[in-house]
Amino acid sequence: MKSFINGDVPPNNRESDLTDRFQTLKVIFRKNLERFDVCSLEGRILIQKIVYFAQIFGFDLGYRFRWYIHGPYSAKLATDAFELDDKWESVRAAKLEGQEIDVLDHLYVFLSSRTESIKQYSMWLEILGSIHFLKTLAPSRSKEETFASIIEHQNYFDLQMCEQAWAYLNSFGLVSS
C-alpha cells in the first residue's frame, strides 16, 4: 500500500492511484463514520469535512478544497465519493502502518469529540471546517472577522457556536488565540 502521509506522491497510474486512494478513504470512513452515506446532504457534508481534516492531519489524498455553501468542498472528492459508494463492497480497506495509524488515531480523537445526531454532527464539522479553512485562507483575518464571514454566509451558525468551534480547533493547535 502506497503511503499517503505528509506529501508522499501517489502513483502516477490513475487506476492504481484511485484504488489506493479508495482503500485509504475506506479505512478513514470506517473508523470515523457510523455509515458511509452519499445520499443525504448531511452524509456528503461529513464525507467532505472528514477528508478535509484527514488531509490537515497528514493524509495527502490529493484533494483540493475551495469555499462552497457548506464550507470547504472538493468537487473531485464528491465524484470519488459517489464512485466509492458504488464500489464500497469490493474495495479492500488499506492496511495502515506506523505513522499512518498514528495520524488516523489522532484524526479519530479529533472527530469523535461529540456524539449527537448526524445532522448536528455534520453541522459541527461544517463549522470547524469553515473556521479552519477561512483562517488558513486569510491568516491575518481576525477571529471576529472570520466569525462574521461565517455567520453572514452560513446564517444558521451564531457567535456562541463559532466561539465553541474556535476553542475546540485551538485545543488541537489548528488555530491560535
Task: Collect all residues with Cβ–Cβ distance below 8 Å to 63 and sequence separation of at least 6.
Answer: 51, 52, 55, 74, 76, 77
Percent of the chain past pLDDT 70, that is, above it, reads 89
Q: Residue 6 has what pLDDT?
A: 46
The three three-digit cell numbers of residue 140, written as one number: 491575518
Maximum mean pLDDT: which of 30-39, 95-104, 117-126, 142-151: 142-151
Q: Please, which residues bridge with residue 148 across strands?
A: none
- 3-state percent helix, strand, coil for the chain, nearest multiple of 5: 60, 5, 35
How do beta strands 71-73 and 66-68 pair? antiparallel
CB of 127 closer than 8 Å to CB of 150: yes
Q: Coil, strand, or helix at residue 113?
A: coil
The three three-digit cell numbers of residue 106, written as one number: 489522532
**Global confidence as pTM:** 0.87
Domain chopping of the chain, boundaries: 14-171
Q: pLDDT by residue (tens digit) across 19-55?
A: 888 999 998 888 777 778 899 999 999 999 999 999 9
Q: pLDDT by residue (tens digit) across 50-79?
A: 999 999 999 989 999 999 999 999 999 999
Q: pLDDT by residue (tens digit) across 88-107?
A: 889 998 898 889 999 999 99
Positive or negative CA dihedral for 134, 152, 71, 66? Answer: negative
Statement: residue 5 has pLDDT above 80: no
DSSP letter for 174, please.
S
